[in-house]
Structure 1
Amino acid sequence: MRKPLLIGTIALGVLMIAAGVLWLTSPQGSASSLSDFTTPHADGVPRITPAVLNSLLRGDDAPLVWEFRSAETYEAQHVPGSRLVTLDEIAGAAAGLDKGQAIVTLCT
């Protein structure tokens, strides 16, 4: 019982690593709604809280959620509606997406 809770807590904490490669390269105007909810950090990677992500996912303009984790970790627990993506799959996953689509990444 404690292990799934620990994994969930770690996973949600890691959600603060947001706005991955595609979000950082998206046009400024279209990403501004997500950037309103991010906080800057010394490493330069904007972060959002799990509560903010939950709120955004319930909205009309929900971001995509891409999880960069092991398949085992993803299978054990993941954000509902998220997609498991490997580093090798980024370009393929991004192909055809609207340049204004916000993407939140979760990495462990």
Structure 2
Amino acid sequence: MATDSTLEQTRLLAGVLMHVSRYLDTGCPRAAHQAGLLLRCLDASTLDQELMTSCEQLDQAISHPRHLGGANAVGDASTSSRLRSRSSRGCVSTASFPN
């Protein structure tokens, strides 16, 4: 069962990286929004403190794109600035993952 949870968290992180990469390449606000949604689906109780801190910083960076310094930065792409400690089971069905 723990392996399933680890695999699920790994897939969520892969999705986050894919969307953040797209956002950084194109400035697409939807990609930043999708990355933020996936970040909030992560189960904070399964992440080590360093990774959790990095995810929170990433969420803040995509929530406030003006800090990225990009010319394509647009309004607030995130609905929350903090990751939540909860099961990601409900989030996986709505998440977009790379093929």
Which bracket does the TM-score occupy, shorter chain normalised?
Answer: 0.3 to 0.5
| Higher relative contact order (CA closer than 8 Å, sequence separation 6+) | 1
For normalisation by structure 2, the TM-score amounts to: 0.35
> Going by fraction, where is helix more abundant, 1 or 2?
2
TM-score, normalised on structure 1?
0.33
